[in-house]
Amino acid sequence: MQEYHERHDPSTPFAEGTRLVPYLAAERAGLDPDTLRYERAVRYLVREGALVWEERVGTVPGIDFYRFTGSGMELLRQA
């Protein structure tokens, strides 16, 4: 998601509060976001506090905006 963000919005730093769309980042990375594995990964990041759901985009299932959190920054540093 960091790479996707930096490619599409290079003027905004990837930091706490950054608005993200995991579904589109997964597609761009060549992953299938319509799988149970993707859903589990996003749920894990939400459960760990790395992402906070913000809003749904239109009526397309799975296209949601999230905010990146301070906990997400810590997880990223540990990786």
Secondary structure, 3-state, the chain: CHHHHHHHCCCCCCCCCCEECHHHHHHHCCCCCCCHHHHHHHHHHHHCCCEEEEEECCCCCCCEEEEECHHHHHHHHHC
CA distance 26 to 72: 17
The reported pLDDT for the residue numbered 11 is 84
Q: Kindly report the number of other CB atoms within 10 A of residue 23's CB atom.
A: 21
What is the value of pTM for the model shown?
0.75
- Of the CA atoms within 13 Å of residue 31, those in its CB half-sphere come to 15
| Tens digits of residue pLDDT in 26-75 | 998 888 998 999 999 999 999 999 999 987 766 566 688 899 898 888 88
